Structure 1
Amino acid sequence: MRDREILLIVTSVILTLIFSNLSLFLKSFSSTPFASPEIKQAARQVEIDGFRKSEQDFWSKIKDIDFDRLPPKTETAKIEKTPIVPPKKTTKKPTAVKPKLTKPYRRFLFVGDSVMFDLGIQLQYTMKQKYQIVDTKLDYKVSSGLNRIDYYDWYARTQKLLRDYQPDVAVVLFGGNDTQDITDFQGKHRAIATKEWQNAYQERVDKYAKLLESSSVRKVYWIGQPISNKSRYAKYFPVMNETYKNASKSSAKIEFISTWDAFAASGNFAPVVADKSGKRGYVKINDGVHFTSHGAKIIGDLIADKMVADKILKSPQPPKSPKKKP
């Protein structure tokens, strides 16, 4: 009696477990060797029914979603396509380049023949009074030039001047004594006004220009001869001026200043010319070459104005008028 009760209880528990989770029981029992084909088929059907139920639950949830409340596709696209702007790079502004300071021109050398003596004296006075330049040197030789180097060697003399005085600016004037026959560097005699003479004189001038170019002088003004009332000089001076001009073209520091028209009126020599202030006076003495003090002032002002334009000299300040007493 006791055994039958225990068997009944066990059977009840087993049946309760089977019916409470039949699908799990069938899956477990179908994998045992005691399961018949019918039992295995039943377990497979239960698995399929479970999968279908899960699938129906998924689509039911999808149907419950309110698609009208979702943000429009265009807005989503806008959000997605909004470009990411990288932070602006802080670029340093380039440092302003300071202008290179130009060393002032303080020492001035005036070189030439006796015509340069007249001009040099006037230039020294003008530069001291108007431009406060006091460090100047005038070196001249009467009856000299670049023709008769056997009489006076301007190459050797100028080298010594440049070495000893070390000028910033040199002003050169030759020609008044060079209107004569010449002996070229090959020792051949060349008659004035011939092509051979022009070539020989050009060689002399070029050699002097190279001497200046290779020196420490910073600027050279080669002064041309002005028009003359003497036919001899009126004939040769234009040729010689062209020679000086040609030499300056091959040098970065040499500048030719033409003075031909300074004493001219309508292309002809004018004995009386007005200076910058309007004062009129004779410009040359009777030999047709040397300047009067008035003529030297006109040429000197022309040279000084060119130096101001080239920033060699600073523009002179107008004198201050005295204050009136009350």
Structure 2
Amino acid sequence: MMIERPARATMASLRAIFTAFLAAVTAYGCLSPAAEAQERPRKNLLDMLFGTREPDYPDQPEQPPPRRKSQPRKRPTPPPRQPVVVQPETPPAAEKLPDAKTILVVGDFLASGLGTGLEDAFSASPGVVIQSRGNVASGLVRQDYYNWPQQLSGMMDQLKPAMVVVMLGANDRQPIIGSGLNEKYGTDPWFIAYEERVQQFAKLVTNRHIPLLWVGLPPFGSDQLTASAVKLNHLYQSQMAAVGGEYVDIWDGFTNQSGEFVVTGSDINGQQVRLRTADGVNITAAGKRKIAFYVEKPARRLLGNQASPDITRLDTSSPLPAQQASLPGIEPEKVTSTPPMSLSDPELDGGSQLLGNTPAPASPAASPRDLLVDKGQMAPAPTGRVDDYRLQGSVAR
């Protein structure tokens, strides 16, 4: 009994010491991982989806945020550069002269576009005025709708044109009606009647001794319209040769190398532009100027100096300058006239004989040819030439 008492006292003191140690550890926050996990709040579903910042615990020092790797900055992609198209400079419009010549343009919707192109072409020519009198849906077939022979006569009486330009036929692919005629398009009677109308219409101009330019039709997007244009152009060309007019062919300007219809082609400056509209019938602004380009050349040839951009006029009402007025006159007796000389005159260059007509001068010594032909003598070959057969030096063994 006396032996067990010290052992029981020792165990009690050890328990007291261990309890005090746990209390001290708990006071200083040195909890075990299991106790630490129990004290931390548990994450719910919203925290796991959207994330929440956990509270700072004294046993876990705050970690700096991870450093992001530096990524190269992306430069903004510049927009694609549009090609710079240099537009040709348009010459300034010149003030028209009081006695400027008038070019009368008549026809359908194509003629109206041609008139616009000619106004641009002759804008710098003070001696030319363009008068466009086109009717959109007109033609030579339906004279009950618009009577071109009657209208043209009145226009020429009023405007006194120096030239008439006609572009018709795009609306004439329909039956001829009027004057006892009712012929379907494409038949032989239709072409006979239409040819007669073209001839009578052209003679209204040529009988007045006014230059006439008849512009042919261009190809169209429709194969049927293009085939009709080919037939009508042949008819226009033959009739212009019969009545004294001039036919202007524009076909190649609106086709490719194979002769097929094109929407886009070269303009008068060689740039690729749109010449026709989406319907394959109408003409764009560049196409109108291109038709005028074909008409401009014969028009300037017929008008002569009147169509020049540099034409000027002297004002006779103003007196001459004093220096010009005091110039001495030319004495008629001192003026000598010379007869005209033809460029084919032999005396123009001072000789009347052809070169080589005189005999060659005689040589005092006989030539090698004469020695060979007359006497059979041949001069020895020079030393060392390939035909020199003379042995020189010792003979080779």
Any idea what SS the aligned residue of 1:136 has?
strand
Partner of 1:267: 259
Of residues 295, 317, 325 in structure 2, which corresponds to 1:303? 295
CA contact (8 A) 2:142 2:178 kept: no
Residues 115 and 130 in structure 2, CA contact (< 8 A), matched pair in contact too: no
- CA-to-aligned-CA distance 1:32-80 (integer Å, 9 cap, x gap): xxxxxxxxxxxxxxxxxxxxxxxxxxxxxxxxxxxxxxxxxxxxxxxxx
User: Which residue among 196, 204, 213 is the counterpart of 1:203?
Assistant: 196
Cα distance change, pair 261–307 in 1 and its aligned pair in 2 (3 A): same
Richer in helix (by share): 1
From 142, 157, 166, give the equivalent of 1:148. Answer: 142
- The one-letter amino acid paired with 1:140 is G
Q: Which 4+ residue blocks in structure 1 deviate beyond 3 angstroms?
A: 308-317
8 Å CA contact 1:162–1:215 kept in 2: the answer is: no
Count of aligned pairs between the two proteins: 210
Deviation at residue 222 of structure 1 after TM alignment: 0.3
C-alpha distance after superposition, 1:98-131 (max 9, x if no partner): xxxxxx97111111111111111111121123x3
2:274 corresponds in structure 1 to 282
1:220 pairs with 202, 212, 215, which one? 212
Partners of 1:105 and 1:312 within 8 A in 2: no
SS of structure 2 residue aligned to 1:143: coil
Query: C-alpha distance in 1, partners of 2:304/2:221?
Result: 33
The structural deviation recorded for 1:190 is: 1.2
Distance 1:123 1:316, change over 3 A: same
SS at match of 1:171: strand
Q: Does 1:125 align with 2:117?
A: no
Q: Counterparts in 2 of 1:155-234, with a 5 A limit? A: 155-183=149-177, 185=179, 187-217=180-210, 219-234=211-226
Scaled by the length of structure 2, the TM-score of the pair is 0.50
Shift of 1:216: 4.8
> What is the Cα deviation at residue 176 of structure 1?
1.2
Listed one character per residue, the Cα deviations across residues 162-191 of structure 1 (whole Å, up to 9, x for unaligned) are 111110011110011101111364x13211
**Percent of pairs with identical residues:** 28
Rounded to whole Å, the distance in 2 between the matches of 1:175 and 1:109 is 18
Structure 2 letter corresponding to 1:109 = L
Mapped pair 1:258 → 2:235 = no
For residues 258-313 of structure 1, what are the alpha-carbon distances to aligned partners after superposition, in whole Å with 9 as ceiling and x for unaligned? 11111111111121111231222111113322211011111111111232344546
Question: Residue deviations 1:213-233, cap 9 Å, x none?
Answer: 21252x110000011121221
Q: TM-score, normalised by structure 1?
A: 0.60
**How far apart, in 2, do the equivalents of 1:233 and 1:182 lie?**
17
2:107 maps to 1:112: yes
**In the alignment, which of 198, 207, 227 is matched to residue 235 of structure 1?**
227
**Paired residue type of 2:246:** E
**Can you give the 5+ residue segments of structure 1 that lack an aligned partner in the other structure?**
1-103, 318-326
Q: Which structure is higher in RCO with an 8 Å CA cutoff and minimum separation 6?
A: 1
Residue type matched to 1:174 in 2?
L
Secondary structure of 2:165's partner? strand
1:9-158 alignment, distance < 5 Å:
106-129=101-124, 131-158=125-152
Q: Aligned equivalents of 1:151 and 1:132: distance in 2?
A: 36
Q: CA RMSD in A?
A: 2.0
Change in 2 beyond 3 A, CA 1:108/1:310: closer
Corresponding letter in the other structure for 1:193: G
Supply the distance in 1 between the matched residues of 2:102 and 2:151 (Cα, whole angstroms). 18
Task: State how far apart, in whole Å, the 2-side matches of 1:133 and 1:124 are.
Answer: 12
Aligned in 2, Cα 1:251/1:264: closer, same or farther, shift over 3 Å? same
CA distance in 1, matches of 2:278, 2:176: 26
Report what 1:87 is aligned to.
Answer: none
User: How far did 1:316 drift?
Assistant: 5.5
Residue 247 of structure 1: how far off its partner (Å): 1.6
Alpha-carbon contact 2:176-2:190 (below 8 Å) kept: yes
Q: Gapped runs of 5+ residues in structure 2? A: 1-98, 311-397
Distance 1:111 1:198, change over 3 A: same
